[in-house]
Structure 1
Amino acid sequence: MSDLITPVAAFALGTALARANSCTVASTRRLVIERRSDWLLGLLVAISWSGLTLSLFALAMPGRTYMPMQMPIALPLAAGGVLLGVGATLNGGCFLGSVRRLGRGDLNYLFTLAGIALAMAVVGRLFAGGSPHLAMAHGIANLRPNDSIAWATAVFAPIAAYGLWQATSRRRETKLALIAVGVAGGVVYACNPDWSYTTGLARAVQGQLDGNQSSAETGAVALVCGVIVSSALKHEFALRRPRLKPALGCLFGGALMGTGAMLIPGGNDTLMLWAIPGLTAYGPAAYAIMIATIAVLMLAWQRFGPEPGNRARGSKPSG
């Protein structure tokens, strides 16, 4: 069943990403530079809807719903969060923002993927038993106790309801898109947490691709296709050839992001749509460190020099 659900849900996630302010870098920049927290609050809405979706799947399909297992909050996680923040800032977009920009035709972000793959190839060799990211994906805890699901509902339902009220009463397309990001993300992670393009890149560079994981790779392709189709329908798709300075920023930023994702484990896409909604302790910790790092860099560049990332190079942020 997951062979069908994964690409369909991933495509839906891609179409929603193209219309949502879902980039952590752009959202943090909006808070630091413009003193507006609405985009970060929107990310919390997406997280909450993903949490509700995971809980519903866990109740409806006990023993068949994938939930993240707890990981230790230790130095590697903190280092990973910092690297995610620095890398995403240099890159001009987080994992989700990079897919959005690439799907809109900005080919500089192909170098982000190259940087992530390079980092995973190098860092993966440092772990004799394989990367921690892959260990997490394959060592999944199944259904949580019912009281854990009840806690998830209590935590996420009010925020999810607030997001739905904003989307319907004020007719905000971006809020509806964020809800769709949360629901689609929750579905795809509940059925196949190995689906993401970062996990696919990790398997590819370590020579672990096989026919049994085809739905995961299909999901990654479907995600990008969803962004392309949605952007084209809104007449926002335009090919942009790589330029040296942005491409180098994407390459180095992607390498740092990939390293951070290996250490946590998981990129901010996994943190937002699986680890935090799955009520892990490490998810909020790593994500908070990432956001704090981005905020510190934004404040520093605001005061002492030009802002990093693609906005400083003459283009709009990835949000």
Structure 2
Amino acid sequence: MTFFFVVFLFLFILGYLAQTTGLCLVRGVNDALDKRPQFLFSILLSGVLGWVSFLVADVLAIDVSFKIYAVQWTALFGGVLFGVGAALNVGCGVSTISKLSRGDTLMIATVSGWFIGWFLLTGMSDILPSRAASIPSNLHFTALVVISALVLVSIAFVRTVNARLWLSMLTIGLMASLTFLYEPRWTPSSFLSDISHSMWEKEATQWPSMERTLFLFALIGGMVVAALKTRSFKWKVKRLPRYGYHLIAGVLMGSGASIAGGGNDSQLMLSLPAFSPHGFVTVFSMLVGIALGLKLPTCFRR
């Protein structure tokens, strides 16, 4: 029970920081295209403190085993499809939940689209490559330590580095990796994926547990508290066609996530720190898809 409350707190903090930092892959790509790549890099490197979770797992005798996909076309196609949908939505998976917690009702349509996309392509999991268990190696551990050390040195000594941004992102990544030790499938996309699988197979074995549901509430709760504290919470109701537009964007995101084996939350916070080849390719494809989506004529992005 103690571990449950600790993880609950971790996810609350994660949600709070995700809201206050404006964590969004679409924003990161947009800034990078505008020759301001720091925000994007801070997101991509947010998981480098994952080595801390290895130490915690060793002390607590927790078996840490990453399950990763081999690289194939699903990473490329699914990533690009998700990225285009995220660009049209003007928000990735995490920022969609953040916007919803700030009162943006358009995101209800987006989340509904996610579910539709996940549900329609739930059967895609049958053609995904088999997963291979991967136990963190000494090389893996050392690489994360070296990268995190370089990041921390840059934060301390490079003036152009936004220290508050980087420390917030690193904390988000650390909370995510520590949560993984207790609940590997804590991410919102995994939650939605399991609901879709459960409905597709017409059985309750994969339905998210009450514990996972409470973890999701903790994440959203942190976002809501941050929105209230920063006075950014405001109910936003738009015209009906806008909801249809975001529903379509959500379907693209959900379909892409289903094909790729996870949304950007799972890929960034779990796959990248695990050095998953499939995760690297998927995230790169998502970035390409977002860039392509941002280049679409304005009439397709409104």
Interval of TM-score (by shorter of Structure 1 and Structure 2)? 0.7 to 0.9
Query: 2:144 — aligned with what?
Result: 152
CA distance in 2, matches of 1:11, 1:145: 30
- 1:180 Cα deviation from its structure 2 partner: 2.2
Q: The residue matched to 1:46 in structure 2 has which SS?
A: coil
Match of 2:91 in 1: 93
Structure 1 stretches of 5 or more lacking a match? Answer: 314-319
Report if the CA contact (8 A) 1:120-1:202 is conserved.
yes
1:289 aligned onto 2:285: yes
Specify the alignment match of 2:56 in structure 1.
Answer: 57
Do structure 1's residue 116 and structure 2's residue 108 form an aligned pair?
no
Q: What is the alpha-carbon distance in structure 2 between the residues aligned to residue 198 and residue 127 of structure 1? A: 14
- 1:123-134 to 2 correspondences below 5 Å: 123-125=121-123, 127=125
Distance 1:127 1:148, change over 3 A: closer
Counterpart AA for 1:182: G
Partner in structure 1 of residue 225 of structure 2: 229
Q: SS of the residue aligned with 2:11?
A: helix
Q: Any conservation in 2 of the 1:203–1:209 contact (CA below 8 Å)?
A: no
CA distance in 2, matches of 1:165, 1:193: 35
Secondary structure of the 1:69 match is strand
1:109 aligned partner, one-letter code: M
Native 8 Å contact 2:117 2:252 kept in 1: yes
1:151-230 pair list within 5 angstroms: 151-163=143-155, 172-205=163-196, 206-207=198-199, 208=204, 213-230=209-226
CA deviation after TM superposition for structure 1 residue 148, in Å: 2.6
Q: Whole-Å Cα distance in 1 between the matches of residues 150 and 76 of structure 2?
A: 29
Q: Distance in 1 between matches of 2:25 and 2:281?
A: 15
Report the more deviating stretch, 79-88 or 145-154.
145-154
Change (3 A) 1:37 1:29: same
Name the structure 2 match of 1:263: 259
SS of 2:67's equivalent in the other structure is coil
The corresponding residue for 1:13 is 14
The number of aligned residues is 296
* Partner SS state of residue 73, structure 1: coil
The answer to whether the 8 Å contact 1:19/1:174 transfers is no
Q: Is the 8 A contact 1:47 1:277 kept in 2?
A: yes
Q: Secondary structure at the match of 1:93?
A: coil
Change in CA separation of 1:27 and 1:127 when aligned onto 2, cut-off 3 Å = closer
Q: Counterpart of 2:279 in structure 1: which amino acid?
A: G
Closer, same or farther: CA 61–278 of 1 in aligned 2, 3 Å: farther
Match of 1:43 in 2: 43
Give the distance between the partners of 1:72 and 1:142, measured in 2 at CA.
Answer: 12
Deviations 1:240-272 (A, max 9, x none): 124323322321111111111122211111111
The separation in 2 between residues aligned to 1:103 and 1:265, in whole angstroms, is 25
Q: What amino acid does structure 2 have at the position aligned with 1:280?
A: S
- Identical columns (%): 21
User: Normalising to structure 1: TM-score of the pair?
Assistant: 0.82
Aligned residue for 1:31?
Answer: 32
Query: How far off its partner does 1:115 sit?
Result: 0.9
Offset of residue 146 of structure 1: 3.0
Aligned to 1:279: 275
Alignment-derived partner of residue 70 in structure 1: 68
The change in CA–CA distance for 1:294 and 1:212 in structure 2 (over 3 A counts) is closer
Change (3 A) 1:69 1:191: same
Query: How do 1:101-112 and structure 2 match up within 5 A?
Result: 101-112=99-110
Measured against aligned partners, the alpha-carbon deviations of 1:121-153 in whole angstroms (never above 9, x if no partner) come to 11114556xx969x97xx8x4742333322322
Q: Which residue of 2 aligns with 1:316?
A: none
In structure 2, runs of 5+ residues without a counterpart are none
**CA distance, structure 2, for counterparts of residue 153 and residue 110 of structure 1:** 39
Tell me, what secondary structure is at the counterpart of 1:179?
helix
Q: Which moved more, 1:36-45 or 1:110-119?
A: 36-45
